[in-house]
Amino acid sequence: MENTIYIASLVFALVVNTFLALYLIRTKEQSVALLAFVVFITLISVWGYPQFLINTFRIENYMFTYLDKISVVGYTFLPIAFLVFVLAFTERLDSLRNFQNVLLIFIPPVLFLYLSWNTSLLEYHTVDTIIHAPWGLSSPPSTYFIVFLIWFETVMMASLIILIKFLIRTYDSLKRRQAFWIILSALIPLVVGSITDGAMPAFGQANIIPMAIPLTSVMGIIITYAVLKHDLFEFSPTSIISSIGEGVVSIDSKGRIVFANDSALEMLKVEPKNIFGKSYFDVVRLRSEEGKVIPLKDRPFHRALTIRESIVGNYYISTEKVRKFSVAMTVNPLIKNKKVIGATVSFRDITREKEIETSKDEFISVASHELKTPITALKLYTSHLERQLSKKGDAQSILALSKIEHQTDRLLALVGSLLNVSKIKTGKYVYNMVQFPAQAIIKDAILTTRPLIKSRKIIVKGSTRRTLYGDREKLTQVLTNFITNALKYSQKEIIILVKDDNKQITIGVKDFGQGIEASDVKHLFEKYYRSKKDEYSQGLGIGLYVSREYVIAHKGKIWVESRLGKGSTFSFSIPI
Amino acid sequence: MSKKILIADDDSSIVDSITMILEDEGYRVDTPIRSHDTFKTVKNTKPDLVLLDIWIDHEDGRNICRKLKSDGVTSNIPIVIISASQGAAQMAIEAGADDFISKPFEIDELLLKIQKNLRRGQTHGLKILI
């Protein structure tokens, strides 16, 4: 049999391609790119099987025509399948939403198929016209076959150019690797096959070896290798999102769930079939950190859609099967062509973190409580000794003792601050809300800080006759903290600014110190934060944290404006 | 005869330092041998004033305070509660204590409270005599 080798290579190619198609179609993560690729290799089989039959068995004339026509379907649609695959792979499928483009892509192959089946313009399909090439039998090309060939090569080249451009431009190393293997594997049968099966016959060199189909087995082998060795097609964006630890749920603009990853399904204990297409608000119930049910219009999803920005916060969520648990949640609006098309919610279970936080706060509370007792004893011993020594008139020892006392007081202040923080965190702080003249805050604060002020100059600019409703002591503490800081960081005068604009009262403290680094400003009001430069000064940096908590409890705002080398202004405002 | 003050606190450093100061001021100071004996000791020794820690060996000092205030023999003895927590003032008053001092405190603050409550105890006692 003269075509044994050709038949053998055909069989090999077809087996490899068929198994590859079956393997890929069964992978878990389906995507348009993968499906288009499966169609692509299936079309190669559609092209190849009839060729195999023609070359293997003695075929009747009508049968030959029939098989050859099926074969034509395979290679006519081949470039289109490859193009769709490339567009999907490079995330350019959007271009197919345009109806004109779809017509432009699909009309030529349908036309060519029609001509090939019903006319002799492109190819002949009868036994008597068959050509005996060294390795097999082939249908001879007709007059206008060259037109088809040019179209075929153009679409293929365009696809490859898109792919190569993508390979050069993308920074996604995974996609680069995938693109590389696809180009490498598809290029071999396309280039060589185009020459042997297309160009050569078209130019009258028909008695050459038809290589396209056997070469696709090489492609099949390379892709199989890439699939097994480099997880080609395994790492799709969907598979990555599915596997991440955070729960991810995508919702369309009407609030229906369109996607949920594995973590989300597991955390919410829901089945995909029960939630897709369902209203997100029916599936996931949301409560604020304080345990209050959040009304629909205030849910982060709606806020994200309205303001078109990400909403970040801690909430309690629950579903039909899951009791409420704490999550840190981010809701990102999905915006396409300036239109909000939905939102993606990602969340993380923070129950454990919350427990740790609570036990840490409790520890601080107990520890600082326990610390108070020995410090009290220490103070009592010191004052007792001081009294004894003053009776004897030992001035030198008294001086040393007064220093011990000073340090003891410092220690006490630190313990006190720690206790304050833990109280605020555990929500134990009780606010004593009363009506009082706002101006009292300034008077009280200056009175409290008088021992620190000494010879320094404090200027008060502005005043108010307004009555405030709030905790007088705590608001005074905020201003006291500002003044104490200003005295600590600046050696010049300090200005207290008071402003009343009928909506709110703003009180600020301006110093002419070294100013604060921009990188420090945003952390300034955090718990335990202290600037790196600040190692010599006192305090745990919780003064500002406590101040912030106080001001927030009054529905007010707290902020700082600072310029390096010029000084800073710390301000807070309380709504009237 | 100098006034007798009983200190009930499970922290020996507090008892010791206060004792030192009060003795220096001319008071007589007594402490229960074991803190849970506080009630018995007060009843037996009848001090002029009791300084009582709000937590003694995991026992709520307020219970001791209530017990003392409801007993005929000891109800007139002024009780000053010592505590490290700020919210304790309210608790002390609720438990029937006469006064309250929070840790940390200054010597002068303590002495002032003792003097004030001793005086009050005296007038109280006088009233009963009349």
Q: What is the pLDDT of residue A573?
A: 94
Q: Which amino acid is at B79?
A: I
Contact A62, A126 (CB under 8 A): no
Q: Chain A partners of B113 at a C-beta cutoff of 8 Å?
A: none
Q: Which residues contact A42 (CB under 8 A, 6 or more apart)?
A: A17, A21
CB contact under 8 A, B84 and A373: yes
Q: Can you give A84-95 as a three-state secondary structure string?
A: HHHHHHCCCHHH
Q: Chain B partners of A373 at a C-beta cutoff of 8 Å?
A: 11, 13-14, 84, 103
Alpha-carbon radius of gyration of chain A: 39
Cα-Cα end-to-end distance for chain B: 22
CB contact under 8 A, B20 and A369: no
How many CB atoms within 10 Å of residue A493? Answer: 13
The answer, for A381 touching chain B at a CB cutoff of 8 Å, is yes
- Residues of A numbered 408-437 whose beta carbons fall under 8 angstroms of chain B's beta carbons: which are they? 412, 430
How many CB atoms within 10 Å of residue B102? Answer: 19
Nearest CA in chain B to A411: B104
CB contact under 8 A, A377 and B24: no
Q: Chain A partners of B19 at a C-beta cutoff of 8 Å?
A: none
Contact A304, A331 (CB under 8 A): yes
The answer, for A406 touching chain B at a CB cutoff of 8 Å, is no
Nearest CA in chain A to B101: A376
Residue found by looking up tokens 């003895």 in the block: B77
Alpha helices in A393-492 (DSSP H): 395-425, 439-453, 472-489
Gap from A376 CA to chain B (nearest CA, Å): 5
pLDDT mean by block of 10 residues, chain A; 576 residues: 69 81 74 82 85 76 80 88 87 80 88 86 69 61 80 87 86 76 79 74 61 74 72 64 85 87 89 84 85 81 84 87 89 85 91 83 74 86 89 88 86 78 62 83 84 80 87 88 83 89 91 82 65 44 77 89 87 91
The answer, for A390 touching chain B at a CB cutoff of 8 Å, is no
Q: Chain B partners of A377 at a C-beta cutoff of 8 Å?
A: 11, 13-14, 16-17
Examine residue A272 and say whether the peptide bond preceding it is cis (omega within 30 degrees of 0).
no
Residue found by looking up tokens 């999550």 in the block: A327
CB contact under 8 A, B17 and A384: yes
Q: What is the pLDDT of residue A204?
A: 63
CB contact under 8 A, A374 and B21: no
CB contact under 8 A, B107 and A374: no
Across A429-461, b (16+ Cβ under 10 Å) vs e yields: beeeeeebebbebbebbbeebeeeeeeeebeee
C-alpha–C-alpha distance, residues A202 and A140, integer Å: 8
Q: Which two tokens stand for residue B16?
A: 């010791």
Q: Chain B partners of A374 at a C-beta cutoff of 8 Å?
A: 11, 13
Of the candidates B55, B38, B75, B103, the residue with the CA atom closest to the CA atom of residue A371: B103
C-alpha–C-alpha distance, residues A137 and A513, integer Å: 93
Mutate one of B107, B113, B114 to test the A interface: name it (highest A CB count within 10 A): B107
Q: What is the pLDDT of residue A481?
A: 86
The answer, for A375 touching chain B at a CB cutoff of 8 Å, is yes
Of the partner residues B17, B103, B106, the one whose CB lies closest to the CB of residue A372: B103
Q: Which amino acid is at A116?
A: S
Nearest CA in chain A to B23: A384
Q: Chain B partners of A369 at a C-beta cutoff of 8 Å?
A: 84-85
Of the partner residues B20, B21, B104, the one whose CB lies closest to the CB of residue A375: B104
CB contact under 8 A, B103 and A380: no
Of the partner residues B87, B105, B107, the one whose CB lies closest to the CB of residue A384: B107
Across B6-44, b (16+ Cβ under 10 Å) vs e yields: bbbbbbeebbbbbbbbbeebebebbbbeebeebbebbee
Of the candidates A416, A288, A352, the residue with the CA atom closest to the CA atom of residue A360: A352
Of the partner residues B14, B24, B110, the one whose CB lies closest to the CB of residue A377: B14
- Per-residue confidence of chain B (130 residues) as pLDDT tens digits? 789 999 988 888 888 999 999 999 999 998 887 767 888 888 888 999 999 888 766 667 788 888 888 888 888 899 998 887 666 667 777 788 888 888 888 888 899 989 988 887 665 544 444 3
Cα-Cα end-to-end distance for chain A: 101
Of the candidates A119, A101, A115, A9, the residue with the CA atom closest to the CA atom of residue A55: A9
Q: Chain A partners of B104 at a C-beta cutoff of 8 Å?
A: 372, 375-376, 379, 412
pTM comes to: 0.45
CB contact under 8 A, B20 and A376: no
Q: Chain A partners of B21 at a C-beta cutoff of 8 Å?
A: 380, 383-384
Gap from A286 CA to chain B (nearest CA, Å): 34
Q: Can you give A160-201 as a three-state secondary structure string?
A: HHHHHHHHHHCCCHHHHHHHHHHHHHHHHHHHHHHHHHHHHH
CB contact under 8 A, A381 and B20: yes
How many CB atoms within 10 Å of residue A200? Answer: 19
Contact A570, A496 (CB under 8 A): no
C-alpha–C-alpha distance, residues A95 and A83, integer Å: 12
Q: Chain A partners of B14 at a C-beta cutoff of 8 Å?
A: 373, 376-377, 380
Contact A505, A479 (CB under 8 A): no
Of the candidates A486, A467, A483, A478, the residue with the CA atom closest to the CA atom of residue A572: A478
C-alpha–C-alpha distance, residues B69 and B64, integer Å: 9
Q: Which residues contact A516 (CB under 8 A, 6 or more apart)?
A: A524, A531, A560, A562, A564, A568
Gap from B124 CA to chain A (nearest CA, Å): 30
C-alpha–C-alpha distance, residues A526 and A551, integer Å: 14
Of the partner residues B20, B21, B103, the one whose CB lies closest to the CB of residue A376: B103
Mutate one of B19, B56, B85, B103 to test the A interface: name it (highest A CB count within 10 A): B103
Of the partner residues A369, A380, A381, the one whose CB lies closest to the CB of residue B84: A369
C-alpha–C-alpha distance, residues A48 and A212, integer Å: 9
Mutate one of B86, B101, B108 to test the A interface: name it (highest A CB count within 10 A): B86
CB contact under 8 A, A377 and B85: no
The answer, for A382 touching chain B at a CB cutoff of 8 Å, is no
The total number of residues written for chain B in this structure: 130
Contact B81, B54 (CB under 8 A): yes
